[in-house]
Amino acid sequence: MIIYYSMILIVVFFIFVLPNVIIVPENTEFVIEQLGKYHKTLKAGIHIKLPLIQSIRSRVSLKEHVHDFPPQSVITQDNVTMMIDSVVYCKVFDAYKNTYMIANPVDAIGKITATTLRNIVGTLTLDELLTARDKINSELLLEVDKATDVWGIDITRIEVQNITPPAEIKAAMDKQMIAERNKRATILEAQATKEKAITEAEGRKNAMLMEAEAKAKSIELVAKAEAEAIKKINEQNPSDEYIKLEAIKSLKDLAKGQATKIIVPSDVASITSNILAIKESIK
């Protein structure tokens, strides 16, 4: 008898109890319905539901998902058709809204992203579009996240991946880029030539200044030496014979064309007659 009841309990356990034990994984929520109506949301852990009365309506992952949407055709303010594709990062924050408020959330996010992207690009010119990627991302994130709140979805990030212009626009942009590079190269070359000429001129100027300073210094030193020599001679109280001898030397240098300073006594006429006397005095 005991074995019979034990068998019955085991059968009941495997048929009614075990199938109604629910284990909810981490970062997941189960939406439970009771007799076709929303009953509660199960968090991570072990739960037991009533057999035949309660059922699992949906299993919702709370992890962040990445959706790469195909390129969309958009028109700029200056009537240029561009192809832009985007990547959306999102996660569910409310399992109830995600279950009952939207049937196909991924498709809905793609549609609202494309529509918002067209509205934003329509206010920009081609040049603004090519340089306003961050602005587009921030405005897309703000508008799309606002629209998906009612679906229990949080948009964490939106990135515009590729902006593809038409072939003729791309060819014109390539030519403009090449021309701009050539222009920068020409400007850099001209600047280099200018700086080289300035450097060389500065070098020549400095060399001339140094040469002039050296000559001036040399003249100054010679003048100081001559002045010092004259001072010493005056301090020694030179005789008339010495002065006459210096005059003869000066005449000799003058005859060679090498004299830079000549002392000519007032009695030049008597120099010749006194040469022999000076010679004797020096001896």
3-state secondary structure of 152: coil
Instruction: Give 76's pLDDT tier (boundaries 50, 70, 90).
Output: confident
Judged against a pLDDT cut of 70, whether residue 194 lies above it is answered with yes
Q: 211 versus 40: which is more confidently predicted? A: 40
The model's pTM: 0.57
**DSSP string across 181-225:** HHHHHHHHHHHHHHHHHHHHHHHHHHHHHHHHHHHHHHHHHHHHH
Q: What is the pLDDT of residues 255-268, one digit of tens each?
A: 555 545 545 455 54
Structure confidence at residue 244 (pLDDT): 59
Q: What is the pLDDT of residues 104-153, one digit of tens each?
A: 999 999 999 999 999 999 888 888 888 888 889 999 999 999 999 999 99
Instruction: Give 248's pLDDT tier (boundaries 50, 70, 90).
Output: low
Instruction: Give 94's pLDDT tier (boundaries 50, 70, 90).
Output: very high
Instruction: Give 82's pLDDT tier (boundaries 50, 70, 90).
Output: confident
Weakest mean pLDDT among 40-44, 158-162, 202-206, 247-251: 247-251
Reference 121, options 141, 140, 145; nearest CA is 140
Structure confidence at residue 279 (pLDDT): 46
Burial (CB count <10 Å: 0-12, 13-18, 19+), residue 255: exposed
Residue 191 to residues 31, 117, 177, 185, 205: CA-CA distances in angstroms? 72, 44, 21, 10, 21
In angstroms, rounded to a whole number, what is the distance separating the alpha carbons of residues 200 and 220? Answer: 30
Instruction: Give 283's pLDDT tier (boundaries 50, 70, 90).
Output: very low
